[in-house]
């Protein structure tokens, strides 16, 4: 049986040939890309016992990955963090409920505008964009949002290279973070 989304014309990395995935990835050479690689063997197993715990960790990974990408872009002179007024994040539709203190939008705002305090380590992490006005997070269907489908292609490429221990092949093309 064929995937229904393929019949409607949606391109998903899992259904494309390697040749086509490569072409689509290369077509984004002028697009800034980032991703996060999570070593699941090093994550507490209890995180996977509950959907909300898992989603909280995935939101954390996204927040840290985006923060590191912004800091790397700043270090390379691509962006000036003090000139960021607003950040608009578009995510694939998924379960958004967590068992954490903050949902993704609030967590991003805390991390970027106000800074965060880790009680376990008694350490304050200062904000990277304290003058920023705000952050919006929108959840969209990948079938109707090109950027989500592009992110799927990037994630698939990162996943493939991480499993093959070849992440070095995209170090100059994608800002990525390794967790934990």
Q: What is the pLDDT of residues 11-53, one digit of tens each?
A: 778 888 989 999 999 999 999 999 999 999 999 999 988 888 9
Q: What is the pLDDT of residues 117-151, one digit of tens each?
A: 988 889 999 999 999 999 999 989 888 899 999 99
State the chain's mean pLDDT as an integer.
90
pLDDT of residue 102: 62
Q: In degrees rounded to 5, what are phi and psi of residue 136?
A: -120, 145
Q: In degrees rounded to 5, what are phi and psi of residue 134?
A: -175, 180
Q: Measuring CA to CA, how many Å separate 35 from each of 3, 102, 139, 156?
A: 26, 21, 18, 10
Full-model pTM = 0.87
C-alpha span between 152 and 16 (Å, rounded): 11
């Amino acid at each position: 049986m064929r995937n229904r989304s393929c019949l409607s014309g949606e391109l998903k990395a899992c259904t494309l040939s390697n040749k086509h995935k490569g072409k689509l990835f290369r077509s984004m050479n002028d697009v800034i890309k980032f991703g996060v690689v999570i070593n699941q063997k090093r994550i507490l197993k209890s995180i996977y016992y509950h959907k909300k715990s898992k989603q909280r960790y995935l939101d954390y990974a996204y927040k840290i990955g985006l923060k590191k990408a912004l800091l790397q872009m700043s270090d390379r002179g691509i962006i000036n963090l003090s000139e960021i007024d607003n950040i608009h994040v578009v995510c694939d539709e998924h379960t958004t409920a967590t068992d954490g203190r903050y949902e993704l939008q609030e967590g991003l705002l805390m991390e970027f505008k106000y800074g965060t305090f880790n009680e376990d380590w008694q350490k304050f992490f200062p904000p990277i964009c304290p003058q920023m006005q705000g952050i919006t997070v929108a959840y969209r269907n990948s079938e109707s949002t090109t950027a989500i489908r592009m992110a799927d292609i990037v994630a698939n490429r990162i996943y493939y290279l991480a499993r093959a221990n070849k992440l070095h092949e995209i170090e100059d093309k994608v800002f990525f973070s390794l967790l934990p």
